[in-house]
């Protein structure tokens, strides 16, 4: 009898999701403030879900604690497709940063739906710092251990971990200065209060082109079209590569038919002309793969950043 009741509850939840406008609203939680690329992509996915005739969709921003506030709520939600998480690199980094204090398992407590996109960041320096590329920065940092600083716009983010990976591979001691987001961090680098930063391309490009900051290297393995004259950091530190990713997750044990429909809606969103244009401006590549590919990616990414955190001793600030 209990088994029958459980099956009936699951069937009812699946039907409610498929009901469209008559069903309960779908909530997509985002662990960053409005305006960030993660937030933008979540809203594009929401539009495509609505166009499929599903229930109304709301994007709710729950910033704080490296995205763990939003992730915890989704991890504890009913697996009926009405509570989702649009997330990024911090989801892969948090298991290593928080360890046993993390209130969920980044793999077991979630259902991967789609890896939408992935893209590099750029290492920038204030215009008054006497370096022109990553090699010169490494030489300067080695001659002044503990004197230089990275502005970090979000601990656990891809730009934070790019800095940790850089310090580990270059064997340099550069301090971290925490900020609440990339915008205030970039503002201080432009003003020269802090000399260095790994920044999202979209945010940094206007400042680079105006000469207010200098681009020293990109975190991708190849050059990016937006900054064709800026060499990859891997040219100086072979094997260096770091990318931000953007993906959609649901609670664990989300029914397969719901996963399939959400994957299709998100893939359509990723291929919209306006979305492609926004991503290309940020040097970001559309992935839009399968749920299985996203799970494999998460396993590898979590392992990669666990090693970096262990070797550098990085901690949440």
Instruction: Write down the pLDDT at residue 24.
Output: 83
Residue 108: partners with Cβ closer than 8 Å, 6 or more residues away: 252
Domains of the chain: 2-119+244-312 (3.40.190.150), 121-235 (3.40.190.10)
Q: 134-143 and 158-170 are packed helices; what angle lies between their axes, rounded to 10 degrees? A: 70
Burial degree of 146 (CB within 10 A; 0-12, 13-18, 19+) = exposed
Cα–chain center distance at 52 = 26
Q: pTM for this structure?
A: 0.82
Of the candidates 117, 189, 125, the residue with the CA atom closest to the CA atom of residue 153: 189
Burial classification of residue 292, based on how many CB atoms lie within 10 Å of its CB (0-12 exposed, 13-18 middle, 19 or more buried): exposed
Going by C-beta distance under 8 Å and a sequence separation of 6 or more, which residues neighbour residue 199? 121, 122, 124, 153, 159, 182, 185, 186, 189
What is the C-alpha separation between 247 and 226, in angstroms, rounded?
23
Distance CA 73, CA 110 (A): 11
pLDDT in tens, 37-77: 888 889 999 988 888 777 689 999 998 888 899 999 999 99
How many helical (H) and strand (E) elements, i.e. helices and strands, does the chain have? 11, 11
Per-residue pLDDT tens for 129-188?
A: 999 999 999 999 999 999 999 999 877 788 888 999 999 999 999 999 988 778 889 999
């Amino acid at each position: 009898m209990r088994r029958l009741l459980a099956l009936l509850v699951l069937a009812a939840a699946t039907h409610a999701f498929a009901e469209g406008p008559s069903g309960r609203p779908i909530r997509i939680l985002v662990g960053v403030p409005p305006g960030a690329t993660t937030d933008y992509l979540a809203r594009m996915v929401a539009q495509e879900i609505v166009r499929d005739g599903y229930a109304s969709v709301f994007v709710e921003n729950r910033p704080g604690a490296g995205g763990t506030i939003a992730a915890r709520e989704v991890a504890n939600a009913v697996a009926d497709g009405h509570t989702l998480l649009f997330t990024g690199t911090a989801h892969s980094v948090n298991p290593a940063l928080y360890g046993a204090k993390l209130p969920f398992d980044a793999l077991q407590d979630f259902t991967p739906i789609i890896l939408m996109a992935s893209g590099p960041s750029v290492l920038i320096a204030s215009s008054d710092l006497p370096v022109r590329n990553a090699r010169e920065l490494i030489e300067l940092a080695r001659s002044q251990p503990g004197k230089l600083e990275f502005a970090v716009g979000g601990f656990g983010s891809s730009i934070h971990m790019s800095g940790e990976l850089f310090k580990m591979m270059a064997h340099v001691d550069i301090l971290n200065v925490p900020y609440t987001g990339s915008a205030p961090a970039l503002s201080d680098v432009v003003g020269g209060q802090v000399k260095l930063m790994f920044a999202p391309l979209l945010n940094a490009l206007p400042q680079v082109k105006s000469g207010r900051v200098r681009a020293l290297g990109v975190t991708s393995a190849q050059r990016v079209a937006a900054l064709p004259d800026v060499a990859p950091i891997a040219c100086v530190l072979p094997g260096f590569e770091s990318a931000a990713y953007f993906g959609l997750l649901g609670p664990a044990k989300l029914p397969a038919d719901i996963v399939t429909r959400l994957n299709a809606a998100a893939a359509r969103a990723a291929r919209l002309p306006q979305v492609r244009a926004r991503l290309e401006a940020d040097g970001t590549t559309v992935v839009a793969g399968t749920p299985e590919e996203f799970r494999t990616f998460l396993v590898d990414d979590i392992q990669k950043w666990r090693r970096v955190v262990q070797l550098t001793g990085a901690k949440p600030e």
